[in-house]
Structure 1
Amino acid sequence: MQRYYNLLFLIVVITSSCGDRFLDVTPTDRFTTDTYWKTREHAEAALNATYAALLQTGLYGGNTPVMLETITPNAYSYSSDYNKIAEGIHDAANASIVNTTWKSAYTGIGRANNLLAHIDAISMDSTLKQQYKAEAKFLRAVFYFPLWNLFGGAPLILDPPDFATQSTLPRNDTTALLTQILKDLDESLAALPAAPSGNDKGHATKGAALAFKAKVLLYAGRYQEAADAARTVINSKVFSLYPDYRALFYLENEGNTEVIFDAQFKSPEFTHGMDIALDEYNSVAPLPDVINDYYAIDGKPISMSAKYDAAHPYENRDPRLQQTYTVIGSQYKGAIVKEGQYPRTGYGQKKYTVYKDNVKPPATIADGQSELNYIILRYADVLLMYAEAQNEATGPDASIYSALHEIRFRAGMPDISTGLSKELLRTEIRHERRIELAGEGLYYFDIRRWKTAAALMTTDIYNYKGERLDTRTFNPLRDYLWPVPSIAIQENPQLTQNNNYGK
């Protein structure tokens, strides 16, 4: 981790001063392109700055990952840009998260391109140079992912930032971006290490590149290729499920055996606000829809289980329910959760806070001062990606049940019944993804790629008492993509807008 946070003054030197421009990342400190790229330390600082771009709001910084839950049936945000998206009233100008995501992606892309364009001029160890280039290509793929996945296309830029020439580029389509993302990931594999070591903690590895490739291919509907990539990660035996689901997300267990790649935070230099957003502000308020989707302890839906007691609805349930969320009468932060403690919906989220169930914290984490890493890729997700991709590619087989067994066994839940049809197994896999990854911001991407968002997000939502909170709408002709930010189109009139968003 030390290498990630050192040389801060050099990071400042090569970090952009963007202002309102998405592509304006010209150095403004004492160094210039002509004077900067001289030593290994310069290349290292440039790489660190590229990793630091992951921590921006709109990517994996701020509260972005957990706030994505609030534009799904998993959670509700009473007042935010995310709620505009959930209500279907967002446009190209009124939801700042749309603008921020686009801008943050290009900031990271610009830093990766800068390193790749200049590192060959530096005299340094050739093996290390190739590793730095591989890490930059991996990161560039990560930064292009939201432009491909959320916006459906954007200008494909592989050169160092140059606002004068790049501000008139048209959008490339999804195929072009997908091709480049996969190319970068494939090329990175040759020089990335098998596992992080020493000061490289938090840096990309072969497992990270393969896991991210599996994710991209799954989202693209290229199921056999996705299954093959995920299987390679599984067969490598580098990663394994951490035995304690709740403790997987504890601060002291960062970088455990399940973590494949994460966004590295460190107080006071690099922090976020997830603790206070989830706990004190209750800004990500879990909805009864997800609470009720947790099976009973016998592995059956609560509507079909003799173990479920409506008078005691949170007993005899999948243990992950109370390991992820607070419910009235449960223990959290060394006390019993009381009615009204989480006022939005009656529930709160534990995952991605530093608080524990049986320990009273000395004080509330201040807003913007949390340092818990956000896990971008973890092994359980790879197992679930494999299960889904393999089922879609070939139908049920023993390897799918084996992958699901690992996750369910860790959770303390019985196995899924064998002998299911492809369609029934698909339903169980999708349920398992929702439950295992609840609170992590991935369900929004899932319901979009499954094309279920229109049905799930066109509805009224309610709190635990059955009181209506809001009305959500989802236009399937528009809302499967985000609008291109209006400020980006103002700066570059060559950019076309996505369908039904106007200008």
Structure 2
Amino acid sequence: MKNIKIYKHASLAILSAFLIFATVGCKKLIDDTPPAELIGDDLIFDTKDSLGVNAEKFLNNIYADLPRGFNRINVSSQALFSITANVGNMLEAGSDDAVPNAITDQVQYFSTDGISASVNPDNTWNANYAGIRKVNIFLSKIDRVPLFTKGLKDRWKAEARALRAMFYFELLKRWGGIPLIGDKVFATSEQINLPRNSYAEVQAYILSELDAAMPYLLTANASSNGTFAANNYGRFGRGAAMAIKSRLLLYAASPLNNATNDLSKWSAAAVAAKAVIDSVSAGKFIYALHNTASTAHYSTTTLAGVTTTANLSAYVTSVNKFLSIFSTASNNEIILPYMSATNTSVETNNDPVGYTRAGAGKTNPTQELVDEYEMTNGKMIGETGSGYLATNPYYDRDPRFPSTIIYNGLYWLNRPVQTYDGGLDRPFGYGLRNSGETRTGYYLRKFMTSNSSATSFTATNHIFPIFRYAEILLNYAEAQNEAVGPDNTVYSAINAIRARAGMPNLPAGLSQTDMRTRIRHERRVEMAFEEQRFWDIRRWKIAENVLNGTLHGIKGTLSGSAVNYQTVDVIPVKFNAGKMYRYPIPFNELVSNPSMTQNPNW
């Protein structure tokens, strides 16, 4: 599955937001042994190397700076490249979708008004500027290398520029306007004295870089003649650049960045997403919703009782289709993955605690997220005629529910999970522990594979989708609905996602407001734990509504062979709308850069 070999610079140390040592040591991500040698610029960008071996390693190293997803919050620098370490939290554990199972984990600061200029569990400022610096070094030196293959140097430059655009977007969505440094490579002795560019200026720069890179990037067809072949899976192609453009313009059109609701911004976002969809329709890209149950995560035996007998076989197929997106290497839904070797880290971090292989159970979904999943008839659990029963709350729900959340009674590995008080996976019970077991009564299911035993892990594929085709459909539906209303193309995009999940089409005749609610709902359940909800509640400016009050979980009490359920409080949450929609500029940047200004009210 791992087609790009990602390298890290073992000798790199970030000296400031922009500065790193010039000497470089390269080694494979999956190799934990020290590098055999340090390689200088003259050997990396070798004037006699027509194959560009070390130059390509340098470029591949930049890919390692892409958003890695999974349990990346509170990860130490030493653990970043571990494939087995029990290291951190999902970002969504700082949203209304989940909490960490340890009350002291800093990811909660995002939902408890605990971050500051000095304390930010998601402070990626240095990392993204280090990535930008690597790109600038690469672009400034790659022309020394006499590459033999025609067009390869132009493609490598384009990949580097697209990577740089991605790093700037990661900065922009966190801090708003930030300094643009162009192609400059700062000397280690040079004073950094740069003001922040505006949001609009940074956005325009990202768009210009993507537009300049696109003609030289690979397309996504699995054939020859400049298009994607299997060994290029994971490289920055034209589709990935178009996906960044789609997300960037969607964020720019959203209420946080579009206070006047300028409809032209929504139209631009719709056009950008539609360009990807149209390229698929024209056969230029092979992206599609992954519609194959390529991994048998569940069977009619292991999911018996979760839905009606008549629907069970189709239901199991829908569950397996959805889970297979994240366990199938090189599938066509993933536009840009974060590539890694086969590993056990997702299970190590998120497995329920009651199995002898000792998973950490780090990510605990909230009752708020659980309640968002519809019944299979398409009705929300509170709607008349839904068929929902509080005494059997997990029966006949959207197949994406058991694909995403582990709940009491869901089969896992070799037995049904026990998250009732005193059960194997919640031995102490609600409110009696601040770490070590679920705080909400739920664990994360998505991304985990079940091809291991109850006592050991098996290294396998874990694909974190930086971009996938379902997001493009969701982006288009949202932008088009805001620009012109719920036309047939909006219905078509959302219904395609629902059909893959085995869910009925949306009802006809929805108003623009009703469709907006439906799209936001669909985005939440489809993209859960893919680092979407955390940013969605900010760009929609609803974080002040969903993160002020209390997040909830479930308390299960065993009575004979039955479990009685009660919704319970888990954590009080607070979101200060006057400042928290943007991250605070890191304190070190304010001190080291005289022209740097802080975001409002920090």
Mark yes or no: TM-score above 0.5.
yes
1:121 to 133, 138, 144: 144
**Residues 295-345 of structure 1 deviation map (CA, whole Å, 9 limit, x = unaligned):** 111111111143211111111111111111111011122320112415211
CA gap of 1:402–1:73, structure 2 versus 1, over 3 A, is same
1:52 aligned onto 2:64: yes
Deviation at 1:247, TM superposition (A): 4.8
Separation in 1, partners of 2:332, 2:346: 23
Q: Which residue of 2 aligns with 1:42?
A: 54
Conserved in 2, the CA contact under 8 Å of 1:328 and 1:347? yes
Q: Read off the aligned partner of 1:155 and give its amino acid letter.
A: P
Separation in 2, partners of 1:259, 1:305: 37
Separation in 1, partners of 2:112, 2:500: 36
1:331 aligned onto 2:354: no
Matches within 5 A, 1:227-246: 227-237=270-280, 238-243=286-291, 244=293, 246=320
1:454 to 544, 548, 554: 544
Q: Read off the aligned partner of 1:440 and give its amino acid letter.
A: E
CA gap of 1:3–1:252, structure 2 versus 1, over 3 A, is closer
2:170 to 146, 155, 159: 146
**Residues 182-219 of structure 1 deviation map (CA, whole Å, 9 limit, x = unaligned):** 11111121011112314212101111111111011000
Higher CA-based Rg: 2
| SS in structure 1 of the partner of residue 550 of structure 2 | strand
| SS in structure 2 of the partner of residue 172 of structure 1 | coil
Q: Which residue of 2 aligns with 1:472?
A: 573
CA gap of 1:257–1:424, structure 2 versus 1, over 3 A, is same
1:205 aligned onto 2:237: yes
Q: Read off the aligned partner of 1:207 and give its amino acid letter.
A: G
Q: Which residue of 1 aligns with 2:331?
A: 256
Conserved in 1, the CA contact under 8 Å of 2:329 and 2:461? no
Conserved in 1, the CA contact under 8 Å of 2:87 and 2:349? no
Q: Read off the aligned partner of 1:352 and give its amino acid letter.
A: F
Separation in 2, partners of 1:490, 1:317: 52
2:400 to 309, 320, 328: 320
| SS in structure 2 of the partner of residue 183 of structure 1 | helix
Conserved in 1, the CA contact under 8 Å of 2:89 and 2:107? no
Separation in 1, partners of 2:190, 2:204: 23
Separation in 2, partners of 1:327, 1:276: 18
CA gap of 1:353–1:228, structure 2 versus 1, over 3 A, is same
Greater mean deviation of Cα atoms: 257-266 or 120-129: 120-129
Q: Which residue of 1 aligns with 2:134?
A: 111
Separation in 2, partners of 1:376, 1:43: 25
Q: Read off the aligned partner of 1:47 and give its amino acid letter.
A: L
**Residues 32-55 of structure 1 deviation map (CA, whole Å, 9 limit, x = unaligned):** 435542232232112101112226
Where in structure 2 are there 5+ consecutive unaligned residues?
Answer: 25-37, 221-227, 254-264, 281-285, 294-318, 352-358, 426-436, 556-566
| SS in structure 1 of the partner of residue 336 of structure 2 | strand
Conserved in 2, the CA contact under 8 Å of 1:23 and 1:162? no
Q: Which residue of 1 aligns with 2:4?
A: 4
Conserved in 2, the CA contact under 8 Å of 1:69 and 1:439? yes
CA gap of 1:117–1:166, structure 2 versus 1, over 3 A, is farther
Matches within 5 A, 1:155-304: 155-158=179-182, 159-165=184-190, 167-195=192-220, 196-221=228-253, 222-237=265-280, 238-243=286-291, 244=293, 246-250=320-324, 252-267=327-342, 273-279=345-351, 280-304=359-383
| SS in structure 2 of the partner of residue 474 of structure 1 | coil
**Residues 271-301 of structure 1 deviation map (CA, whole Å, 9 limit, x = unaligned):** 6843322222222210000101111111111
Q: Read off the aligned partner of 1:420 and give its amino acid letter.
A: L
Q: Which residue of 2 aligns with 1:491?
A: 592
Q: Which residue of 2 aligns with 1:443?
A: 533
Separation in 2, partners of 1:229, 1:296: 33
CA gap of 1:35–1:410, structure 2 versus 1, over 3 A, is closer
Conserved in 2, the CA contact under 8 Å of 1:22 and 1:106? yes
- TM-score, with structure 1 as normaliser: 0.90
1:68 to 91, 100, 111: 91
Separation in 2, partners of 1:107, 1:203: 20
Deviation at 1:405, TM superposition (A): 1.2
Deviation at 1:23, TM superposition (A): 2.1
Separation in 2, partners of 1:5, 1:241: 26
Separation in 2, partners of 1:90, 1:225: 34
Separation in 2, partners of 1:112, 1:248: 35
Separation in 1, partners of 2:98, 2:410: 19
2:390 to 305, 310, 323: 310
Separation in 1, partners of 2:336, 2:519: 23
Percentage of pairs with the same residue: 33
Greater mean deviation of Cα atoms: 70-79 or 159-168: 159-168
**Residues 420-444 of structure 1 deviation map (CA, whole Å, 9 limit, x = unaligned):** 1111111101100001111222101
- The aligned length equals 486
Separation in 2, partners of 1:118, 1:3: 25
Deviation at 1:122, TM superposition (A): 2.0
Larger relative helix fraction: 1
Matches within 5 A, 1:15-34: 17-19=12-14, 21-29=16-24, 30-34=38-42
CA gap of 1:334–1:212, structure 2 versus 1, over 3 A, is farther
Conserved in 1, the CA contact under 8 Å of 2:88 and 2:349? no
Separation in 2, partners of 1:69, 1:112: 29
| SS in structure 2 of the partner of residue 49 of structure 1 | helix
Q: Read off the aligned partner of 2:484 and give its amino acid letter.
A: T
Q: Read off the aligned partner of 1:45 and give its amino acid letter.
A: K
CA gap of 1:173–1:371, structure 2 versus 1, over 3 A, is farther
Deviation at 1:257, TM superposition (A): 1.5
Separation in 2, partners of 1:352, 1:330: 16
Query: RMSD of aligned C-alpha atoms?
Result: 2.5
Greater mean deviation of Cα atoms: 285-294 or 455-464: 455-464
Q: Which residue of 1 aligns with 2:432?
A: none
Q: Read off the aligned partner of 1:147 and give its amino acid letter.
A: L
Q: Read off the aligned partner of 1:150 and give its amino acid letter.
A: R
Deviation at 1:148, TM superposition (A): 0.5
**Residues 393-429 of structure 1 deviation map (CA, whole Å, 9 limit, x = unaligned):** 1111111111111111111111111111111111101
| SS in structure 2 of the partner of residue 165 of structure 1 | coil
Greater mean deviation of Cα atoms: 377-386 or 123-132: 123-132
Conserved in 2, the CA contact under 8 Å of 1:59 and 1:104? no
Q: Read off the aligned partner of 1:103 and give its amino acid letter.
A: N
1:133 aligned onto 2:157: yes
Q: Read off the aligned partner of 2:383 and give its amino acid letter.
A: M
CA gap of 1:252–1:468, structure 2 versus 1, over 3 A, is closer
Q: Which residue of 1 aligns with 2:493?
A: 403
Dislocated runs of 4+, deviation >6 Å: 58-66
| SS in structure 1 of the partner of residue 335 of structure 2 | strand
**Residues 111-145 of structure 1 deviation map (CA, whole Å, 9 limit, x = unaligned):** 11111122123221341111111111111111111
Separation in 2, partners of 1:213, 1:326: 34
**Residues 238-278 of structure 1 deviation map (CA, whole Å, 9 limit, x = unaligned):** 211111454555565122121110110115xxx68433222
Q: Which residue of 1 aligns with 2:483?
A: 393
